[in-house]
A = this chain, B = another copy of it.
Amino acid sequence: MITHGQKVDSFRSKSRKGIVRGVRIIHGNRATVDLIAQSQMDFIYLDQQHGTITITDIFEITALLAPYDIVVLVRTADNGRKSIGLALDAGAHGILAPEIQTVTEAKEIVASLRFPPSGSRSWGSFAAGKSDYASFGGFVNPICWALIESKSALSEVEKIAQVEGIDGIYIGRFDLALSMSVSPEDIESSKTLDAEIRNILKQVQAAGLPTGTSGDFSKLTDQGFRILTVRSELELLSVGLKKYLTD
C-alpha cells in the first residue's frame, strides 16, 4: 500500500506538470467519498470553511481512502496553526488556506504545516502504535494551496505564488467577484473579473504552479486552470438527477 508521504509527493509532482481533478466535499458521507475514491478523481477537499466537516470526518475518511490513489485535502475553517495542525494530525495530505492576502500570511501558513525547527507545528500522534501515523508528519511537507478571493489580494498574488511551500493558487471566484462589486449574476460575463483571473493565471503559471477553481472541467482547462474541482458532491447528485429526469 502506498504510504502517506509517497501519495503527497506523487500528487505534488502531478499537479506541477499537468492537471489534477477533484471534488469539494461538504458533508463527508462515507459511501460518497468511497465511490469518488474509486473514480479517476485525483483529490477531494473536505470543507470546514463552508461545510460540516469535523475532525472525526477527516480521521475516518483519510483512513477509508488510504488504499486508493487519491489525496485528501482540507479547507480549514481558518488559517490558525491550531486548525491546520489538527487537520494534519487527523491524516490530511494538505490544506487549502482560505482568504490569503499577504506574503506574510502565506509564510506563516507554510510554517504551520511543518515541525520545528523549520516550522511551528505541534506534535500529536493520533494513533499510537501505527508507525505510518507516527512518522508521516515529520518527514512530509503537506500540500498547501492558497485561496485568493478578494480584490485587495490581487496585487500580492505574484509574490504569494513564489513563497517556498506554496503548491498552487486557488481562486475563490465568487468572493473575488463580490469584493470587486461584481454581482452574482454578472460573474460569467464580467470583463473586469475575467481580466483579473487571466492575470492570476499568467502570474501563477510563471511561478511554475497550477491555478485552480471549480466549474466545468473542459471550460476550465481551456482557460488554463490545472486544478479542476467539482463544486461539491451535491453537484454530482444534481447532474445524476437531471440526466434521469430529462432522459
Contacts and interface: CB of A to CB of B under 8 A. Distances in A.
Interface of A: 1, 21, 26-27, 29-32, 34-36, 38-41, 47, 49-52, 54-56, 59-60, 63-64, 66-67, 77-78, 80, 82, 85-86, 89-90, 98-99, 115-117, 122-130, 138, 149-150, 172, 174-175, 178-179, 181, 184, 216-218, 230-241, 243-245, 247
B64 A126 contact: no
Given A1-B1, A59-B52, A237 B235 contact: no
A129 B29 contact: no
Contact of A86 (B50, B172, B239): B50
A98 to B, nearest CB: 7
A136 to B, nearest CB: 12
A25 to B, nearest CB: 11
A78 B82 contact: yes
Contact of A49 (B31, B86, B239): B86
A125 B49 CA distance: 11
B238 A239 contact: no
A86 B48 CA distance: 9
Given A122-B149, A216-B247, A217-B245, 9 more contacts: A26-B127, A38-B129, A67-B67, A115-B178, A116-B150, A117-B181, A125-B232, A218-B247, A236-B241
Contacts of A47: 124
Contact of A237 (B50, B60, B236): B236
Contacts of A29: 27, 29, 31-32
Contact of A67 (B39, B66, B89, B240): B66
Q: Which of A128, A181, A231, A236 has the most CB of B within 10 A?
A: A128
Contacts of A90: 52
